[in-house]
Structure 1
Amino acid sequence: MYGSAGGLRELRPAVLAARGFAVLSLAFFGYEDLVPDLTHQLDTAYFQEAVDFVLHHKKVIKNGVGVMGFSKAGDIVLSLGADIPEVKAVISLNGCVSNIFGSMRFKDGSVIEGLYGDNSRILITPEGAGDGTHLVNNPLDYPKTIIPIEKIKCKVLWFTSLDDKNFRGTEMVQIIKQLLRERNPEALEKYWEFMEGPNAGHVIEPPYLPYTSASYHRLVNGVMIWGGSAVDHSIAEVKLWKRIQEVLRQELIPAE
């Protein structure tokens, strides 16, 4: 799943499928009959249906599923790891520990509120593009928005671009570690892996695609910069792509 631009994107799923994985590319807003924007509440039951659909396919190993999300979807996959037992691997790419924008309803009826930001904190570069580094509010100031990550009982690969101009990634890692030390320190050591991309920007894709330093973002109706440098960003994508495949194979393919 991708981020706050909405719709359906099949690039990363297609490349994974070419390497032997059964992959479902899933839209969650802004597509056909789904909610039009992220101000609406999402529900883990919708994602449970997708998990069930994949696991009932006759050519899919029934050992569980992995979920991977970029940007806004990075928080969704954390919620799925905490609420759907069939999820056996969570990969969050430049995501957030809070539920961004609209709320998320869990299967037990509890609701995680949405974390918003302030567009006035977007810095305008000399070229006229926006820098959203400080756009989103601090999760610790809004505890009801924080996903119960202590409930996740599977492998979590958390990737942070160190020059991300969309989320303050290093602060997010600090918050995650602080929360887990308070709530479930064993889980921090047992399940979580933190990976960094030095001088990489926000928009992480499979390797060897053109580096994207800035692009139009329809959520803010303007051009946003994403950070990073072409060389370092590309190196990070190559290393991350290798690790993603390793994690999925280790966690989803049963030992012989």
Structure 2
Amino acid sequence: MAAATILHGDFALSMATFLPGISATVWINGCNADTLVPIYYKDICVPPLIVIPIERASGNFMFIMSEADRNWQSAYYAKLACDRLKAHGKSNYELVRYEKAGHFIEVAYMPFCLANFHGVANHVVYFGGEPKAHSEAQLDAWKRILNFFKKHLAATNHNWKSML
């Protein structure tokens, strides 16, 4: 059985590393560590980790990062993840860079969000990016994500062409 993850970065990497059957993971402007709380799934507990050992994962990764992300050090964390896989002889990943996009790379045609109130931080957070470049990145990323999943997942019951 093939499964895909596209979630909060650290959570997606933990799922791909520790759960069986995850064959494709898309990570967008995230982190490669889970430093806040343990992750529980059935009888599995993944404690907070300084670095998630993604080299254990058997699936494929797509790392999408924005170089103008002002909320998170996405470019740094994406490079660390790719370097870790490469150091372990892995080639099951691809890195997609968007030079002028901000933090929230979402599905195509979502509005650009420069800043917003962050409930956990309890203040306004600046996400960065330039509106036009960010919107173009979302369009491009959506196509890349769909093609990545199409390539790495069993698509027998899906009509992928209707999604493109």
Instruction: Report the TM-score, using the length of structure 2 for normalisation.
Output: 0.86
Q: Which residue of 2 is the match for residue 177 of structure 1? A: 82
Q: Which residue of 1 is the match for residue 119 of structure 2? A: 218
Q: How does 1:1-256 map to 2 (within 5 A)?
A: 63-69=1-7, 73-104=8-39, 111-113=46-48, 144-182=49-87, 184-185=88-89, 187=90, 189=91, 191-254=92-155
Alpha-carbon distance, 1:109 to partner: 5.7
Identity among equivalent pairs (%) = 27
Q: Which amino acid aligns with 2:96?
A: M
- SS of the equivalent of 2:36 reads coil
> Which is higher, the Rg of structure 1 or of structure 2?
1
CA distance in 2, matches of 1:83, 1:210: 34
Structure 1 residues 148-187: Cα deviation after superposition (integer angstroms, max 9, x where no partner): 10111111111001111122122112322332343x22x2
Structure 1 residues 175-223: Cα deviation after superposition (integer angstroms, max 9, x where no partner): 22332343x22x2x2x111001111000121111221101111011111
- Residues 39 and 47 in structure 2, CA contact (< 8 A), matched pair in contact too: yes
- Give 1 or 2: higher strand fraction: 2
Alpha-carbon distance, 1:107 to partner: 7.5
Q: Which amino acid aligns with 2:134?
A: H
- Residues 31 and 78 in structure 2, CA contact (< 8 A), matched pair in contact too: no
- SS of the equivalent of 1:145 reads coil
Alpha-carbon distance, 1:85 to partner: 1.7
CA distance in 2, matches of 1:102, 1:201: 26
Structure 1 residues 15-67: Cα deviation after superposition (integer angstroms, max 9, x where no partner): xxxxxxxxxxxxxxxxxxxxxxxxxxxxxxxxxxxxxxxxxxxxxxxx42111
- Residues 66 and 90 in structure 1, CA contact (< 8 A), matched pair in contact too: yes
- Residues 25 and 61 in structure 2, CA contact (< 8 A), matched pair in contact too: yes
Q: Which amino acid aligns with 1:76?
A: F
CA distance in 2, matches of 1:205, 1:254: 23
| Cα 1:178–1:166 shift into 2, 3 Å | same
Alpha-carbon distance, 1:100 to partner: 4.1
| Cα 1:173–1:247 shift into 2, 3 Å | same
- SS of the equivalent of 2:120 reads coil
Q: Which residue of 2 is the match for residue 12 of structure 1? A: none
Instruction: Report the TM-score, using the length of structure 1 for normalisation.
Output: 0.56
- SS of the equivalent of 1:160 reads strand
Bigger relative contact order (CA 8 A; separation at least 6)? 2
